[in-house]
Amino acid sequence: MRHLLSAADLDRDAAVGLLDTAERMAATQEREMKKLPTLRGRTVVNLFFEDSTRTRISFETAAKRLSADVINFAARGSSLSKGESLKDTALTLQAMGADAVVIRHQASGAPYRLAHAGWLASAVVNAGDGTHQHPTQALLDAFTLRRHLVAAGDAGLGRDLAGLHVAIVGDVLHSRVARSNVDLLHTLGARVTLVAPPTLLPVGVEAWACATSYHLDEVIAEGRPDAIMMLRVQRERMGAGVPANGAPVATGFFPSPLEYTRAYGLDARRLAMLPEHAIVMHPGPMNRGLEISADAADSPRAVIVEQVANGVAIRMAVLYRLLAGEREAF
CB 124 within 8 A of CB 101: yes
Alpha helices in 53-196 (DSSP H): 54-65, 86-95, 110-116, 135-145, 176-187
Q: Which helix or strand (DSSP H or E) is residue 19 part of?
A: helix 12-28
- Calculated CA dihedral for residues 7, 317, 62, 140, nearest 10 degrees: 50
Closest distance of CB 296 from ligand CP, Å: 17
Active site residue 104: yes
Q: At what angle do helices 304-323 and 135-145 cross, to 10 degrees?
A: 120
The nearer residue to ligand CP, 56 or 159, going by C-beta atoms, is: 56
CB 207 within 8 A of CB 194: no
The nearer residue to ligand CP, 53 or 256, going by C-beta atoms, is: 53
Number of H helices, E strands in the chain: 11, 9
Closest distance of CB 185 from ligand CP, Å: 16
Active site residue 134: yes
Closest distance of CB 55 from ligand CP, Å: 3
The nearer residue to ligand CP, 220 or 238, going by C-beta atoms, is: 238
Closest distance of CB 56 from ligand CP, Å: 6
The nearer residue to ligand CP, 137 or 144, going by C-beta atoms, is: 137
Closest distance of CB 152 from ligand CP, Å: 28
Active site residue 82: yes
Closest distance of CB 176 from ligand CP, Å: 8
Q: Is 154 exposed, middle or buried (0-12, 13-18, 19+ CB in 10 A)?
A: exposed
* Beta sheet of 43-48, edge-to-edge order: 69-74, 43-48, 100-105, 123-129
Distance CA 64, CA 57 (A): 11
Distance CA 65, CA 62 (A): 5
Interface ranges with ligand CP (CB under 6 A):
52-55, 128, 137, 283-285
Active site residue 199: no
Q: Give the active site residue among 42, 56, 65, 104.
A: 104
CA distances from 233 to 51, 79, 199, 230, 255 (A): 16, 31, 12, 9, 14
Q: Give the active site residue among 105, 132, 134, 146.
A: 134
Q: Give the active site residue among 24, 28, 54, 224.
A: 54
Q: Give the active site residue among 38, 43, 55, 187.
A: 55
CA proximity to 254, closest of 170, 130, 131:
170
The nearer residue to ligand CP, 102 or 296, going by C-beta atoms, is: 102
Q: What is the DSSP letter of 231?
A: P
The nearer residue to ligand CP, 53 or 79, going by C-beta atoms, is: 53
Active site residue 187: no
Closest distance of CB 210 from ligand CP, Å: 20
The nearer residue to ligand CP, 163 or 285, going by C-beta atoms, is: 285
CB 227 within 8 A of CB 281: yes
Q: What is the DSSP letter of 251?
A: B
Closest residue to ligand CP, judged by C-beta, is 55
The set of catalytic residues is 54-55, 82, 104, 134
